[in-house]
Amino acid sequence: MQLLFTLLQLWTSVEATTNENLQHSENCDGSTFAAPVVPGASVLSITAEAKRNVDMPAAPGLFQPLSDLNFCEIKVYLTHQGVDDRVLVQTWLPLSQDLWNERFQATGGGAWATGMLDLALGPAIASGYAASSTDGGHPFDFLAADWMLKEDKSINWDLVHNFATRSLSEQVYVGKSLAEQYYGLQPRYSYWNGCSQGGRQGFAVAQRYPGLLDGVLAAAPALKLLDVVLSGIWPIVAMQEAGTLVSNCEFDWLASKALEECDILDGAKDGVIGDPEACTFDPLSVVGQKMECSGHKVEVTGAMADVVRRIHQGPTTPFGINVFPGLPHGTPLNVFLNITIDSDGFRTLHDPAVLDVFPRAVLLKDPTFNEYGWILDTDNSDLSAFRDTGAKLLSWHGISDPIIPYQNTVKYRQRVEREMGGAKAVDDYFRLFLAPGVGHCALGVGPVPIDPLESLRDWVEKGEPPETLASETTNQEGELVTRELCRYPRKPKYLATGDINKASNWGCEGEMAEGDDIAGGLRDALSQAGLA
């Protein structure tokens, strides 16, 4: 009798769940949703459509292939008073409530795309989130920035505003409202998830809209966006000033020499420079040595070595103050460049179109381009409002990132420490992790964080702040390499025993003492001013 009663309960539960899921599926219609309340914006239209058994191909370095996704796709178009814009906020909701983890995820963009739409929403849905993305009111294109200009070539500040800040908060208001209407339940927790441009946006949300989200995951952030653009051009400037072009092959050879000298600094020769700041390799030390490129011998010249040295150093003022960081040792120097040598030894600099689309399309149209900083920069070190809401900010950055040098993020963290009570106080709500050997958001030769959003969730929901981030990659031999990324300012160190590919044989060293961060920052400032 008890077994029969239990089966009856189970059947009733299944039948109720089935009916509930069917009801949600039927509710996936634009007419069932009320217009979300979005400060400063009005809703133009709402459409919704149930999507079933959707497959998405893999995105190398981002996510594996996704299959059999079932969700309600809702498209809300917004506009702003006095502005002729039409902004899409696209929200995906797991089609049935039993597929929803009762959490909301706002997703970031990349390059010059305000949001990545399907590319970001697919992984979020696969993990059980209700999720949103936005186009910012301009065409979806990672590499195009000409939408920032009107037909008369003046700046379209309304679209720049959407891209920089406004659309970021609006997708949260829309997504959370639609989730509550669809499920009859507010999301228990809400998060931001983005890298690169999405990382910059995550910091923008933390700085400008505190209290909107419970947690922000912002990786490889372009905190000072114009500096990032200009730092990409710096290698070309260095070569022009030196009167020489350094080929892809030569860059690679010089990088290999730095690796030979500095790989062992973390205790293991694993093909990764764990701490570029400790690497003292000087390209001038190999002047006169020869390499083979394009079938002929090339000798390292003083000009060639000086170009590489200056790329690592970054541009400086006549007073020796660094304008923005150079690329650290271990970072590919020819990501944006394509300089070839033909059989006669003639060198050609091919048009780096991916790099200079923004300077050509926008900066050169407006001689006052420095004014972009006020709206695009997200380096405000006052996080007190964010801290006071109880929210958490988790960031990680690949040390071998050739697009956004990791030093930008480190310097921002140091500024926050100086102004917000020191490292230990800041660790209560903002933690940073550095990933040796990892490129931009992924790739490279180093282990990449597996699921940093899960670590952020544990911090927000369980009160368990992350000390390390589980990471992994596959090396050239096809072997699995695992690491636990160290919480800044700690650095990885091989324990001198066991397989170097296993995280268990590595540790973290170097805890910053209370006050050291402030003293160090003062020393840096005095040094740059020529007073220390």
CA atoms lying within 13 Å on the CB side of residue 77 = 9
| Residues paired with residue 9 on neighbouring β-strands, in sequence order | none
**C-alpha 349, offset from chain centre:** 29
Alpha carbons 307 and 386: distance in angstroms, whole number: 42
Alpha carbons 95 and 183: distance in angstroms, whole number: 10
| Residues paired with residue 93 on neighbouring β-strands, in sequence order | 72
Q: Which of 189, 269, 292 is nearest to 496 (CA)?
A: 269
Q: Which of 105, 110, 108, 79 is nearest to 94 (CA)?
A: 105
- Four-residue CA torsion sign, 435, 440, 446, 452: positive
Q: Indicate the burial class of 500 (C-beta count within 10 angstroms; 0-12, 13-18, 19 or more).
A: middle
Spatial contact of 100 and 182, defined as CB atoms under 8 Å apart: no
Count of beta carbons in the 10 Å neighbourhood of residue 169: 20
Token pair 């961060």 is found at: 517
Spatial contact of 190 and 179, defined as CB atoms under 8 Å apart: no
Give the 3-state secondary structure of residue 17.
helix
Enzyme catalytic residues: 196, 401, 440
The CA distances from residue 319 to 307, 323, 530, in Å, are 20, 11, 8
Alpha carbons 194 and 456: distance in angstroms, whole number: 13
Give 40-79 as a DSSP string.
TEEEEEEEEEEEEEEEE--BTTTB--EEEEEEEEEEEEEE
Alpha carbons 446 and 401: distance in angstroms, whole number: 11
Amino acid at 366: D
CA atoms lying within 13 Å on the CB side of residue 379 = 19
- Four-residue CA torsion sign, 454, 458, 461, 467: negative
Contacts of 457 (CB under 8 A, 6+ apart): 103, 189, 191, 215
H or E stretch including 130?
strand 130-134
Spatial contact of 78 and 42, defined as CB atoms under 8 Å apart: yes
Look at strands 41-56 and 87-94 and give their pairing: unpaired
Alpha carbons 56 and 54: distance in angstroms, whole number: 7
Report DSSP state, residue 530: T
Q: Indicate the burial class of 368 (C-beta count within 10 angstroms; 0-12, 13-18, 19 or more).
A: exposed
